[in-house]
Amino acid sequence: MVTREVVVKNSTGLHARPATLLVKKASSFKSDISLEFNGKKANVKSLIGVLSLGVTKDAVVKVVASGDDETLAAEEIAKVIENLEE
């Protein structure tokens, strides 16, 4: 299991469009990938799950990946979150 902590810099947090990009990227990995925020946890491959976390700007989220490509998955998902545009 690999974990990464990331700060959400996007001014609107993880709303519909950025969450969709995140889900699309996560779906390209074999590993189970989850996002933890405010004591809640969601599967990053589920758009509804990601949106249900209600992640806002400047929030610190934890990316947790577990599986065959866990290291790459955690790095890539963290990179997507860090580089989200408005």
Catalytic residues: 15
Q: How many CA atoms lie within 13 A of 86 on its CB side?
A: 3
Burial of residue 21 (number of CB atoms within 10 Å: 0-12, 13-18, 19+): middle
